[in-house]
Structures are given as C-alpha cells and as structure tokens.
Structure 1
C-alpha cells in the first residue's frame, strides 16, 4: 500500500478522479470544480502551470467566449427573431417536425461551418426565438429538448464530417503525425454518415420527442417582419463575413476561434459595435468559460503526466482483442474509446487512442486505418455530458439542468451501443474496411 502512495502517478490520478467524479455527479457547480482543479493541481505541481492552464489558450475556450458575445448581439438586434420567423414558418405545427428541423439544421450547418462552438452560438438564439414564437416556455421540458437537440445534433452528428469538430481534427493530425496516414473528406463521409449520421440523427429525434415532449402551437404567420434595421444589416454582414472566413480556413489559415474573437471584439467596440459594457458583463457566462477551460486542461494534464498512456496500456492488456473474433474486437475497441472518454474527454481521446492504434491493429488483425476509424463511434457517443464540451456549452446557453443532459446522454448511448454498433460493424464489413 505504501508503495502505491509513493507512486508518481498517485497524486495526479487522485486529483483527476475527484474532478471527474464532481463533474459527473454535479456535487459542486461545474465552474467551481474547474477552479478547484486549477488550484489543487497547481499547488500539488502535478504538471507544469502552462499545461494546467492550457485550456485558456485553447481555441475551443475562445470559441465559447466569442460565441456568447455574438449570441448577445444576435438576440439584441432582433436578428435571431427574424431568422426564427423565416425558419419556423412551416416547421412548428408538430413537435416531431420541430425537433427534427432543429437536429437537421444543426447537422446541415456542420457541412459549411467547421466549429462546433460557433454553430451552437449561432443556432441557440435562433432556436430560442423559434421556441418562444411557438409557445415553448423557457425552463420547460420541451425547451430542454430543443436546447439538447442543438447540442447533441451539433456534436454527435458532426463526427461524421471530417473537418467539422475538434476530435476529428485531433484524430486526423495524430494519424498523419504518427503513421503518415492522410484522411480524406469523401471516404470518411461515406464510411460514417449512413449509421452515425442519418440513423443516429433519427434516433436522436425520437428520443428527444419521447423524453422531452412538447406541444408547440403554430407560429403566427400573419405578421410579416418589417424591413431590417441598420444594426440588423450591419450584424448580418459581419456574420456573413465570419461564416465565409470559417468556411475558407484552408485558404487563409486563420482558425475559427480567432475569427470569432475578432468578430466579438468588433461587436464590443463603442459606437461601432452592438453591445454595451453592462450587456457584456451580464450576458457572457463566465462560469461556462471556466468549465470548458477546466475540461480541456484536464485532458492535457492526463497526457502530460503519462496517466493516459498507462491507462491505454492496461486496457490493451485486459480487453478481448482477438484476430479470430472480429466483432468482439470491434466492440472492445469501441469500449476502449468509451473508457478513455471518462479521463481525457472527447477532445483528448483521439490523441491517446491513435497513438496506441498500431498495437490494436496487431492484436485484432484489422487494417491500421480501420482501427483508427473505429474510435469515431466511441468518442462521438459520450456517456456523460462533461465528456463533450459542445454539449456542455449548449446546456449552459439553454440553462438545461445536468439531470436532463445526463438522461439523454445515457439513453442515446444505450441505443447506439445496442443497435447502431452492430450496424456500424456491418457497414465496415460491407465497405471492405474489416
């Protein structure tokens, strides 16, 4: 026992486990857990300060921040309500159609807008305005369902589009850096979209309608919106420029976070922007910003301390990876990804898993590229909300209680692993990947 206490990984493991437990149980507010992690990890010196506070330097953190600022401007100018009128004109006469339209919009936007956080920031005020026009009250179960439709549709379904979320990009970079394997857009889309995009999207719609029932009334169609105000026009042009820069990142090389941050700064400028200092102070959810920084920092700390590699090697030793039982191996690889999700969250899983992919390939007899691709099912299906920061952000913007997010997480994970995992295995076999 004394040997275990003296092990160099004992203290990092203890701090990380306590942090994860507090997030998973919501025993403390999420932001407070993040602050405690920063404080205790720094005092205990389990990693360099630059690693512990790396979440604040992450592009995801600044996307969250800029998303809050742009969301305030979209709501204040009336642009959100105008967009909601256009979108909801024929989509709010039934709950299934309303939820389906939100999920479809969340998924479709991923094809043209690379940032999960940016899409959530853009969609949440629009969906909120659409809900208000349809009689869905803030804080109701129906509203929680719509907010979760944005978060889950944005994160989980976008995993099928290579440049559309952070874990995909981490996986692509790790595969290229470790094995010189370059992932291509269309083959990736073809491999994952039928099961993890279309079928999972339909299941998501069904679960939201079942767990969070709502009865929208048809949005009023008689009142035609007046002409756009000067501020609406200016903000619309700014958002169009932001969207174009997000879409053309491969040409100019400026990341979505920094484009969003510049746009946020413009909206805050006196006489030029749209938001006052008071509106900024009351509208930006600093609690969520700290939470996201904490999640990202936790993943970096796990990697820096070597805890992730140790866990990965232990999993490799105990998981039933066998070349003679391909389906069992497929399930085991998905299970490894899901377990890693608990300690490094979705953004950190691909870096750790991909570094072990060669060993997994040797143990299972699967091609290396296929082993790398299997992880998408696991990291795109979080068991707990904290594992996916975009879902956390959507819940915060919609003021969705942790219990509601946890309920949908577990329900969708259960159906995914019970129904979609065998279908995904079959699709891998059909397309010649296994």
Structure 2
C-alpha cells in the first residue's frame, strides 16, 4: 500500500490534533491564571485598604508572582525578575536597589562556588572516590551506604542539586551495568536523586534555596547565620535524613537476599589518577577548611571562595579553562537570587512585613497555637509544597517570608522556623516533575523507576521525615543551639 505523503506542519499550515489540544490547554491555563491574578489583585486592593499604598502594592506583586510560579508554565527566573522590576517601578522607586542586587555578597559566593564545582566535576574526583569505594565493597547494601556518604560530602562543594545529579549519572551507569537484577538497578536509580536532594541540607551551599533562606532571615528578622552555624545545625539532620532514606529504599524495594548480593565492581575506574595528585582536591579542601575556621582568621567566606576559584583556574592547575567554567555557571539561579534580594528589600522598605503581622498574623499568637503545633504546621506545609510548586528555590521564596512573619507574631525563633521550612521543602520525590534530579534519573533508561515507584517511596518517606523534623526542631536543634551559646 502506498504511503500518503505527510508534509511538515509549517508547510501544510495545519496543526495535528495533538498540537491543537496542547494549544487549547495552554490557552485555558493562561485564562485561569489571568483570572486568578486579577481576582487576587482586586481582593487585596479591597480587603487591605487599611495598608499603606506601598505595602499594598508589595503584597499585590507578591501575589502575582505566586500565580506566575504556581499556575503558569513561565520560567521561575522570568517571574522573579518581572516581580523585581515591578517592585522597583511601583514601590521602592530605586533602580539602584535592583541593579545593586547583582553585586550582593551572596551572588559572588554562589558564582565562586559554581566555578569551583565546575573544576571539581571536570577533574573526575568523584568518579575516583566512587571507584575506591566500589573496589573495597562487595554487597549492594554496603555500596549504597558508601554512595550516601559520598553524596553527602559533595554538598559542600557543588552548589546545585541538578549539578550534583548530573555529575553522578556516569557513576550510576557504571553501577547499573554490573547489576543483573532490574530491581537492584531500580533501587540505585532511586537512591541517587533521593540522596542528592536530602543531603543538600548539610551545607548552606548545597542548594541555591539555602542562600535565599539565609538572606530572607537576615532581612526579615535580623538573625545572621554563618557557614559554620548552618553546618552545625544542618549536617546532623542531612546525615540522619540521607542514611535513613537509604535504609528505607533498600528495605522497600529489595529483599534481604538482594541487599546482601555481591556486585563485581572491583575494577571500575581504578586506573584513575590518585586524589592527592589533583590540585583541585587540595584547593577545595583549603576553601572548606577556611570557611570552617572563619572565626580564627576573620577572612570573609566569599573572599575565600573567590580566591579558591581563581586558584583552581591558574595555568597548569585547572582541569578546564576559566571560560568553559563560566559557561557551566547556572546564570538563571544567580539572577533569580538577585531578583529575590530585590523583592525582600521591597517587602521591608514598604512595611509589608509589619503590616501583615499586624493585620493577619497577630491573632495566631503562641497562646492560641502551641510552639510544637506551630512547627508541625510549618513542617507539613513544607513537606507537601512540592506537589504544587515544582521548584525548590521557588518553594522557599514563596513559603518562607510569611512563615517568618508568622514566627514574629507568635514569638517563635526565626532560625528554627527557617530550618523547619527549608528541611521540609527539600523532600520532593513524589512526582517526576517535582525536582530535576528525580526527572533526570527516572528517564535514564527503561530499568529506572516509574511514577508508581516514586509514590510508593514518598508514602513512607513523608511521615518518616515529618517525625524526623519534629525530633530535630523540638529536641536536637535547641540542644545544639544551647551548646553553642
């Protein structure tokens, strides 16, 4: 039978039924988004008429940004920059606040960390570490826990969960090649993105959302959180969360016999150059040591990161060129952070935070809502937020400002509220679209996990992490804080 000729759509002028359906869906989504945006803007204008005009405009800009982040397919950074421009034009009237945000210390810290991460990734150090672990470990279970420790360590040098996930793809491919059982391959496919996401909480540089959280706490409550302070609070939780989740994955998806099964990985990557012969290893170690000993030498952490980044690309030292490293930099995240800094300044200068505390949050005092219940509410909101907002940075940007304002009204500690919210928003394994690392490993090959596997895992991890967060926020974090006083 002769095949009918099929012309490309641009030449035929006709769209396929699938294209028509997609276009109709996009138009409906846009219509709903515009309706909700207009409704929220009008409602704020009518219901918040007692606010000062600048505070009311700030609230409207925040509400419209939430619509853009949650109900539209617009890029998160595009929405953030649009909101920052609106804040500058309609509220603060100071363009230098927007332009100056790109020169903020956090922007330079993140840029230096991205450069160090690019050099670290190009050097193949992680592959060598995994090779060393694989050469000494035999069982599936022991290798899984060793990988968890390695991924936890990478949170201190790679300032992006997506970057760490991409860096681990070759390691997963090498392990999957030696897994004869599809069930074991599925367990490792689930392990990598889960631990990448949960281990990020160990370091303030583990995710861009952490830097935004630190800046919001400083601007909205006046609390300063240093690099060492975050690690003292975040590392114990991240380690507990990561190893507990590894145990859950192994027991949920593998039998006892499969967990004890041996993998023939002894010769993977053992021809690599030793770690101590790679300058970037020592540079990264020196930078981290400098961050941890800031109180002794007094050198600013951002300056240490910049010095380390420059040293990593000195001639004959760096594994890639400085230009190539700049290409690997997540420019979108840098601009998003700058836009959020501008928005946070607008919330403060317009008086929005004080107005919301007075008008909305004042009734929710500690007398009406116990501290434990308040933290439980924050944790629950954070844990389920990934089902609706599919960006870790956006979730923190959306949820943390009102949480901090509520903390101010109820008398709760701002740092504890921030830790509760940020640790909760880091769990995002329920849907493929909830996090880039989840989508990346889920689509590597036909032996990766399915949507049902993710739901099955989250049904266990969500209540487990809720209990873990409550233990830390009520017992462990206060004990750590009391010891540091």
Q: What range describes the TM-score normalised by the shorter chain of this pair?
A: 0.5 to 0.7
Q: Please identify the structure whose Cα radius of gyration is greater.
A: 2
Counterpart-to-counterpart distance in 2, 1:271 and 1:32: 39
1:303-314 alignment, distance < 5 Å: 303-314=348-359
Cα shift at 1:219: 6.3
**The one of 58, 68, 73 aligned to 1:27:** 73
Counterpart-to-counterpart distance in 1, 2:248 and 2:275: 41
Q: Does 1:331 align with 2:373?
A: yes
Deviations 1:198-241 (A, max 9, x none): 6544554467679999x999463125634738995222232232
Cα shift at 1:383: 7.6
Deviations 1:225-275 (A, max 9, x none): 347389952222322322222222222223333322222233344555432
For the residue of structure 2 that corresponds to 1:135, the secondary structure is: helix
Unaligned runs of 5+ in 1: 160-164, 362-367, 386-390
Cα shift at 1:395: 5.0
**The one of 421, 426, 429 aligned to 1:378:** 421
Counterpart-to-counterpart distance in 1, 2:88 and 2:121: 39
Counting matched residue pairs gives 395
Q: Does 1:256 align with 2:256?
A: no
Change (3 A) 1:425 1:130: closer
**The one of 117, 120, 124 aligned to 2:159:** 117
Change (3 A) 1:168 1:419: same
Counterpart-to-counterpart distance in 2, 1:256 and 1:219: 43
- Asked whether the 8 Å contact 2:165–2:192 carries over to 1, the reply is no
Cα shift at 1:64: 3.1
> Which residue in the other structure is 2:173 paired with?
132
Unaligned runs of 5+ in 2: 1-41, 179-185, 205-209, 429-433, 444-450
Highest relative contact order (Cα 8 Å, sep 6+), 1 or 2? 1
**The one of 65, 70, 89 aligned to 2:116:** 70
Per the normalisation by structure 2, the TM-score is 0.59
**The one of 239, 252, 277 aligned to 2:284:** 239
Counterpart-to-counterpart distance in 2, 1:75 and 1:321: 47
Q: Does 1:360 align with 2:410?
A: yes
Change (3 A) 1:376 1:38: closer
Cα shift at 1:154: 1.8
Change (3 A) 1:425 1:13: closer
> Which residue in the other structure is 1:280 paired with?
325
Q: Does 1:415 align with 2:463?
A: yes
Per the normalisation by structure 1, the TM-score is 0.65
Counterpart-to-counterpart distance in 2, 1:45 and 1:410: 42
- Asked whether the 8 Å contact 2:57–2:91 carries over to 1, the reply is no
Counterpart-to-counterpart distance in 2, 1:92 and 1:300: 54
Q: Does 1:61 align with 2:103?
A: no
Counterpart-to-counterpart distance in 2, 1:333 and 1:224: 46
Change (3 A) 1:336 1:415: closer
- Asked whether the 8 Å contact 1:59–1:258 carries over to 2, the reply is no
Change (3 A) 1:255 1:378: same
Cα shift at 1:177: 6.2
Change (3 A) 1:14 1:125: same
> Which residue in the other structure is 1:290 paired with?
335
For the residue of structure 2 that corresponds to 1:257, the secondary structure is: helix
For the residue of structure 1 that corresponds to 2:115, the secondary structure is: helix
**The one of 260, 270, 273 aligned to 1:225:** 270
Counterpart-to-counterpart distance in 1, 2:247 and 2:139: 17
**The one of 146, 156, 161 aligned to 2:192:** 146
Change (3 A) 1:377 1:17: same
Counterpart-to-counterpart distance in 2, 1:242 and 1:383: 26
1:343-354 alignment, distance < 5 Å: 346=396
Change (3 A) 1:360 1:427: same
- Asked whether the 8 Å contact 1:334–1:378 carries over to 2, the reply is no
